[in-house]
Amino acid sequence: MVPEIPPARGDRVGPGPEAPKVIVATGLTQRFGSNTVFENVSFDVREGEVFVILGGSGCGKSTLLKLLIGLRRPTAGAISILGEDLLAADGEKRRLLLRRFGVMFQLGALFGSMTLLENVLLPLESFTDLPAEARLAIARSKLGMVGLGDATQKLPSEISGGMVKRAAIARAMALDPPLLFLDEPSAGLDPITSAGLDQLILTLARDLGVTFVIVTHELDSILTVADRVIMLDKAARGMIATGDPRELRATSTQPTVRAFFNRIAEAA
Amino acid sequence: MTALVLEGRLDAAAASSLWERTMRAASAPVAIDISRVTYCDGAGAALVLAAAARARAAGGGEIIGASEDVGAVIALTRKGGEAAATGQVVARPPESLALVVGRGAVNGARGMGDSITFLGEAISATVLTVLRPWTLRWDDTMRHAEEAGTRALPLIVMLGFLFGLILAFQSAIPMRQYGAEIFVANLVAVSVFRELGPLLAAVILAGRSGSAFAAEIGTMKVNEEVDALTTMGLDPFRFLVVPRLIAAIAIMPVLIAAMNLAAVAGMSTVMMSLGFPLVAISNQVVSWTSMGDVIGGVAKGMVFGAVVAGIGCARGMRTGAGPRAVGDSATSAVVGGIVSIVVLDGIFAVIFYLMGW
């Protein structure tokens, strides 16, 4: 049975092809020794878009994300982010580029010895000359924005998994980056918390115009938040589909894409 | 055709006790009759399938009389077995000496390369921080100094006192034969100030703080916190390594001073019990030890502190994946730290000898 599109998406329409491109990935190939994870993956992400990288386990989604955020160099290919060549940037130029986007890691990656407020304050203290009072106000407002206004003094170990991910989004947004990367935001969360996180992503995209690049394989989340997706496949060692996920679900004739969107188990 | 009849509950316990007898019986051209089997789990199904396979080789092997439930379990087990037909538990052959040596050499060279890279990055980050002290994370540095220094003081004092006491007792016995017991004070003071104070303080630092540094940073690595720092444009070296390095270097003189004083107190306790007045003991200590002994020991100790903290941080930064990784890093930080300070101590001994100290 085809899952219904969750109602949270409303009448959202993603930016059209005329929108400026914030990420352009060309011919990305990643190999580990003789094992090719994917090759010749090319795509672009438009400003204001919620862009999802999806695929089954082991297809290279998280590896692709690591390439995009500069934690790993691809075996071949080029990546342009916010108009800068990510792979050519080094030293201070690279650090400046990294500060222009935020990342939420799969486990949140909040600093365990700091409160939520201190976690969000860290990038503000490190990279701005704002007075302490202003930094505090900004950090509080970011936490309030993700629904953690009453948990500012808590440590990461004192809050739930969903709250950790919200706090990680608040920290990633601290410097108001135009681009946010989220790694498996729904992983390990119950359906209600996961739906709340989807709603938050849509709200931030609509109200702040933030561009999201999200790695996930949660079908409900994909159908709710994604304007456009690319699908990676382990067997094909690369990209097998790109486009509006609702259209792909309805019209794709590619067997793996159909199986993914219609929840058909391979082993059956 | 003759039938081999299995009956009753065919679970793991029954399959274990029946396995050999069933296999012997199935070595003939028989059918496997399971019509009286009331329950069958995965182990029971494996027994039925193995018996059928054995009987098939002899010309029989038909499974007959399976109820719907039992038949379903057997069909699923057969399907799983066919899907994993190539899976075998095989003993790994011992690796050849050439392979072991080659892999050890490659890993050693890679580890040395990593260490050199780490050393370079740590030195550059520390020098930059010293030149721009306002960039140091003072709160973190003070916290690490408190953890590695203040909280280690009771242990340092206790061990130092006991060490001075034991050393004095042990040396007093042979010295008494020559009527030279008063020189026990000189022996303990010189050996503790020059050698044992810095060495023991560094060993305690390696055991308490080197392992803690490796475990803290290793856990941060596993939890992607180090990656988070990198993607935020923050240098993990200046954020994580430099505060710990500076804290360890700064607290070593304090730890060494506490160790030295406690050892002298322990020695004095023994000497006073042997009838020497405190003034005579302090005269011996002051007249036979120089400022060079104390400063040389402290300088050596500060280098030990930097090495212990550096190895702890390096092991933490190199923590791999998996549940054992953090424990392995902490263990290797302690072992690496202690071995390094003993080796360094030997090098210092030669340098001080050549310098005439």
Give A97 to chain B, closest Cα distance, Å. 8
What residues of chain B lie within 8 A of the CB of A126, using their CB? Answer: 232-234
* Kind plus residue range of the DSSP H or E element containing B40: strand B31-40
What residues of chain A lie within 8 A of the CB of B232, using their CB? Answer: 98-99, 103, 122-123, 126
* pTM (predicted TM-score): 0.75
pLDDT score for A267: 44
Q: Which of A99, A111, A112 sits opposite B233 (nearest CB)?
A: A99
Task: Name the E strands within B194-310.
Answer: none
- Specify whether B78 is located in the same domain as B151: no
DSSP lists the bridge partners of residue A104 as: A182
**Mean pLDDT of residues grouped by 10 in chain B (357 residues)?**
87 88 89 89 89 88 87 86 65 82 89 83 85 86 90 93 93 87 90 92 93 92 90 87 93 94 94 90 88 89 93 90 85 91 91 83
- Specify whether B148 is located in the same domain as B35: no
Interchain CB distance below 8 Å, A126 and B234 = yes
Residue whose tokens read 């020695």? B267
- Specify whether B327 is located in the same domain as B230: yes
Give A23 to chain B, closest Cα distance, Å. 16
Give A118 to chain B, closest Cα distance, Å. 13
Fold of the domain spanning A7-100+177-261: Rossmann fold (3.40.50)
Which of these, A210, A82, A97, A192, lies nearest to A145 by C-alpha position? A210
**Cα end-to-end distance, chain B, whole Å:** 98
Interchain CB distance below 8 Å, A110 and B232 = no
Whether B183 is in a domain gets the answer: yes
Q: Which of B225, B230, B234 sits opposite A71 (nearest CB)?
A: B230
The full 3-state SS of chain A, as one line of letters, equals: CCCCCCHHHCCCCCCCCCCCEEEEEEEEEEEECCEEEEEEEEEEEECCCEEEEEECCCCCHHHHHHHHCCCCCCCEEEEEECCEECCCCCHHHHHHHHCCEEEECCCCCCCCCCCHHHHHHHHHHHHCCCCHHHHHHHHHHHHHHCCCCCCCCCCHHHCCHHHHHHHHHHHHCCCCCCEEEEECCCCCCCHHHHHHHHHHHHHHHHHHCCEEEEECCCHHHHHHHCCEEEEEECCCCEEEEEECHHHHHHHCCCHHHHHHHCCCCCCC
Give B233 to chain A, closest Cα distance, Å. 5
The count of structural domains within chain B is 2
Asked if B228 and A103 touch (Cβ cutoff 8 Å), the reply is yes
User: Which structure tokens are listed for B262?
Assistant: 């406690």
Whether B99 is in a domain gets the answer: no
Q: Can you say how many angstroms the Cα of residue B317 is from the centroid of all Cα atoms in its chain?
A: 14
Interchain CB distance below 8 Å, A123 and B232 = yes
* Pairing of the two strands A35-46 and A21-32: antiparallel
Which residues of A lie inside 8 Å of B (Cβ-Cβ)? 69-71, 95-96, 98-99, 101, 103, 105-107, 109-112, 122-123, 126-127
Interchain CB distance below 8 Å, B231 and A70 = yes
User: Which structure tokens are listed for A56?
Assistant: 């089954």
Interchain CB distance below 8 Å, B233 and A127 = yes
- Specify whether B62 is located in the same domain as B149: no
Q: Is the reported ipTM for this assembly greater than 0.90? A: no
| CA-based nearest residue in chain B for residue A97 | B233
What residues of chain B lie within 8 A of the CB of A176, using their CB? Answer: none
- Specify whether B249 is located in the same domain as B299: yes
DSSP SS3 for B38: strand
What residues of chain B lie within 8 A of the CB of A122, using their CB? Answer: 232, 234
Distance separating alpha carbons of residues B3 and B308, to the nearest angstrom? 73
Exposed/middle/buried for B329, CB within 10 Å: 0-12, 13-18, 19+?
Answer: buried
Whether B21 is in a domain gets the answer: yes
pLDDT score for B298: 92
The residue length of chain B stands at: 357
User: Which structure tokens are listed for B264?
Assistant: 């002298």
- Specify whether B77 is located in the same domain as B159: no
| CA-based nearest residue in chain B for residue A72 | B227
Proportion of chain B in helix, strand, coil states, percent, rounded to 5: 75, 5, 15
Whether B93 is in a domain gets the answer: no
- Specify whether B11 is located in the same domain as B73: yes
Q: Which of B224, B233, B235 sits opposite A107 (nearest CB)?
A: B224
Query: What amino acid is encoded at B329 in this protein?
Result: S
**Residues B311/B314/B315/B317 CA torsion (nearest 10 deg):** 160
Question: How many Cβ pairs within 8 Å bridge chains A and B?
Answer: 46
pLDDT score for B90: 66
Distance separating alpha carbons of residues B128 and B115, to the nearest angstrom? 20
pLDDT score for B308: 92
- Specify whether B143 is located in the same domain as B76: no
* Region label for B235, one of left (φ > 0), alpha (ψ between -120 and 50) or beta (otherwise): beta
What residues of chain A lie within 8 A of the CB of B225, using their CB? Answer: 109-112
Residue B12, domain extent: 3-83
Among the candidates B28, B61, B83, a domain finishes at: B83
**Residues A188/A193/A195/A198 CA torsion (nearest 10 deg):** -80
Whether B103 is in a domain gets the answer: no
pLDDT score for B262: 95
| CA-based nearest residue in chain B for residue A70 | B231
Among the candidates B83, B106, B124, a domain finishes at: B83
User: Which structure tokens are listed for B187?
Assistant: 């022996």
Give A148 to chain B, closest Cα distance, Å. 20
Query: Which residues lie closer than 8 Å to B52 by C-beta, 6 or more apart?
Result: B26, B32, B61, B62, B63
Interchain CB distance below 8 Å, A105 and B228 = yes
Among the candidates B64, B83, B102, a domain finishes at: B83
pLDDT in 10s for each residue of chain A, 268 residues: 445 555 567 777 778 888 899 999 999 999 988 889 999 999 999 999 999 999 888 889 989 999 999 999 999 999 999 999 999 988 888 888 888 899 999 888 999 888 999 999 998 888 888 898 889 999 998 888 888 888 889 999 999 888 898 899 899 988 889 999 999 888 877 888 888 888 888 888 888 889 999 999 888 889 999 999 999 998 889 899 899 999 998 888 888 888 888 876 554 3
Interchain CB distance below 8 Å, A103 and B220 = no
User: Which structure tokens are listed for A230?
Assistant: 């690319």
Interchain CB distance below 8 Å, A69 and B220 = no
Whether B105 is in a domain gets the answer: no
Whether B191 is in a domain gets the answer: yes
| CA-based nearest residue in chain B for residue A106 | B224
| CA-based nearest residue in chain A for residue B235 | A95
What residues of chain A lie within 8 A of the CB of B228, using their CB? Answer: 103, 105, 109, 111
Question: B295 touching A, CB under 8 A?
Answer: no
Question: B225 touching A, CB under 8 A?
Answer: yes
